[in-house]
Amino acid sequence: MARPEFHLFVCTQRRPDGHPRGSCTAKGGAALLDAFAQALIRRNLQGRMALTGTGCLGPCQAGANVLVYPGAVMYSWVEPADAEVIVRQHLLEGEPWVDKLTPSELW
C-alpha cells in the first residue's frame, strides 16, 4: 500500500449499555465507519486515503468521533451523512469542516 495522503480513524469503541462514558458504537460508530468506506469507494480514493476503525479516541461524550491525520483534526458528533462532507471538504478541498470540529475543551 502506498503512503496515504490522509488517514481517518473512526471510533468504534463498544461498551456495555449504561457505561458512564458511553460508546461511539452506541452513537453510530459502526455505521459511520461504513459511511466513510462507501464515500471513499464512490470517489475511488481507497489508494489515497486510509480508513481504520479504532477503540476510544477520548471525548466519549461527544461521539461518534473521527480523527484525521495529518493535522490531528478531530471531529465529534459525526453522523453517517457527514462522511461525504468531510471527505469532500477536508480531504479533497483541504478545509476542515468547522461545524463538526471537536471543541478544544474536550480535546
Report which DSSP code applies to 101: B
Q: What is the rounded CA–CA span in Å between residue 23 and residue 98?
A: 23
User: In this predicted structure, what is the pLDDT of residue 33?
Assistant: 97
User: In this predicted structure, what is the pLDDT of residue 22?
Assistant: 77
User: In this predicted structure, what is the pLDDT of residue 1?
Assistant: 64
Give 4-55 as a DSSP string: PSEEEEEE-----TT-TT--TTTTTHHHHHHHHHHHHHHTT-TTTEEEEEES
pLDDT in tens, the chain (107 residues): 678 999 999 999 888 888 878 788 889 899 999 999 999 999 999 889 999 999 999 898 898 999 999 999 999 999 999 999 999 999 999 999 999 999 999 98
